[in-house]
Chain A
C-alpha cells in the first residue's frame, strides 16, 4: 500500500506492506534512522517520534495509521542555523552517554516543551517515564530539559546565536 506522510516538513510517500510499522517505514523506506529500534514493544521509547504534535512509539503504530499525518523525527529538529536547544544542551552538558536513547528522549522532551514551555522537574520525569536510559541515571537529562526550556522561552533564542545565557548561569551547572 502507498503511505504518504509529511515528514519533517516534506511530503514523503512509500509503497510498504500493510504490516509495516511507522518505525520500519521511517528507517527502511525513508532512510531516516534517527528513531531507534530498541525493545520493539513500546517499553523503551527509543523509537519515539512526534505524530500530529504527540509523542508516540513508532514501533507500536502501523505506517498506515500515520497515513496523511505530520511526523517529526530527530532529523527534523536542527535547522540551517544550528541545533535545536534540546540537542545543543544535551550535547554541551553530556546529558547523553552512549546516545542510543537520545533521539527518543529528545523527541519526548520536545513534545513536552511544545505543550508545557515551563515544566517542573516532576513533569519532566513523568514525561520521560517511557524513555529508558541505562547510562545516565537521568539527572543531566532532566536538568538539560529545564535548561533548553529556559533557552526556548528567552525571546532572543540564544541557541541560534551561539552562546547561551542559560548555560552560563552559575546556578545551572
Chain B
C-alpha cells in the first residue's frame, strides 16, 4: 500500500476532533474491510492519515434505550448475528448480517462502515429502511439525527460532511418486534454481492396489511423504498396474491442497471420474487400479540 499516517480515536468526540484537525486528507477506518481493499488498488493518492474509529468505546454495543434498539456504528456484522437482543426484537437484522461476506469479514466489518460505504448492494440497508431506522451523526457542530434514508445520496455517496461520523443506528421502539424479513439473491450462497436484495415489514392486525414497508437494494443508485407497492398493500387483507402483486409493483419502481453480474430485466424479475418472499417471511413472524410486545 502507498504510505499513509495512522491515528486511533478513543471515542467519537476524539474522532471528530481528529477529522477537524486533518480535514479532507483524512479517511475514516471502521472495520477496514472495504477501505483497505480500496487503498491497496486505488489509482488515487492515499489519504494523509487514516483515522481508526474501530476502538471508539462509545461507538460499540447493542442496547435497548428509550428511543429503541440502539446499534453503535462500530457493531460488527458478527455481533449482530449473535446478539440475543436482536434475535428477539429485530431478527431480520441478523438475517441480513449473516449473508454479508464471510465469517472473517463479518468479524471485522461494521454496520456503520457498511452504511457509509454506501454501495447500492449493501445488505445492511434494506432491513433498516423497512424498520424506519434513524441514524445519529456527530460533527464539529454537534449531533444531528435523521432517517436512515436521508443518509443515502448515491453510489458511495452519503450526506455526511467530511468532518462528520456516523455514531449510531436506532430502530425506533414502536417498530421493535414488527414482523420483518430480508431476502438476498447472489451468484453464490456465500461471499457474494447481492444481485438484488429486499426487505419487508408490516403489522397484520385483523389480517390486514398495516404500515407495510418494502425496501430494495442493488436496483437503484442507493437502497430505496417501494412506495407504490407499500400503498397497494396498505389496508388490504393479507394474502399470497397481494404479496405477489406488491412484488410486481415494486419491480416497476426499481431502476436496475445491466452489468457483468446480471441484466436489468433479470434484476427486475428478481425484485418481484424477493419482495414476495420477504413479505411471506415477515408474515411468518406475525404473532397474535405482536403490537402488545412492541408497546
**A interface residue numbers (CB < 8 A to B):** 1, 17-19, 21, 40-43, 45, 48, 54-57, 59-62, 64-65, 108, 111-112, 126-127, 129-131
Measured between beta carbons, the chain B residues less than 8 angstroms from A60 are 32-33, 36-37, 104-105, 108
Q: Contact at B37–A64, with CB atoms within 8 Å?
A: no
Q: Report yes or no: A62 in contact with B32, Cβ–Cβ below 8 A.
A: yes
Instruction: Please determine whether A126 and B50 come into contact, CB atoms closer than 8 angstroms.
Output: no
Q: Which of B3-11, B138-146, B244-252, B261-269 contacts A (4 or more CB under 8 A)?
A: B3-11
Q: A61-B32, A108-B103 are in contact. List 6 more A-B contacts (CB 8 A).
A: A18-B5, A54-B78, A56-B104, A60-B33, A61-B108, A62-B29
User: Are the CB atoms of A42 and B37 closer together than 8 Å?
Assistant: yes
Question: Can you name 7 A-B residue pairings with CB atoms under 8 Å?
Answer: A1-B6, A54-B78, A55-B104, A60-B108, A65-B52, A129-B102, A129-B103
CA distance A62 to B27 in the complex (A): 14
A61 with B6: CB separation less than 8 A: no
Name the A residues within 8 Å of B5 (CB-CB): 18
Q: Write out the residue numbers on chain A whose beta carbons fall within 8 Å of the beta carbon of B174.
A: none
Residues of B in contact (CB 8 Å), total 30
Is B40 in contact with A41, judged by CB distance below 8 angstroms? yes
- State which of A42, A54, A65 has its C-beta within 8 Å of the C-beta of B54: A65
What secondary structure prevails in chain B residues at the interface with A?
Answer: mixed
**What is the CA–CA distance of A77 and B242 in the complex, to the nearest angstrom?**
56
How far is the CB of B97 from the nearest CB of chain A, in Å? Answer: 13
Q: Does B3 contact A18, Cβ atoms closer than 8 Å?
A: yes
Report the separation of the CA atoms of residues A162 and B8 in the bound assembly, to the nearest whole angstrom: 47
| B contact residues around A126 at 8 Å (CB) | 103, 190
Across the interface, which residues of A come within 8 angstroms of B2, CB to CB?
Answer: 19
Interfacial chain A residues near B37, Cβ < 8 Å: 41-42, 60
Q: B103 and A62: CB pair below 8 A?
A: no
B6, B32, B39, B101: the one within 8 Å of A130 (CB): B101
* Chain B 27-68 residues near chain A, CB threshold 8 A: 29, 32-33, 36-37, 39-41, 46, 50, 52, 54
B191 contacts partner chain A, Cβ-Cβ < 8 Å: yes
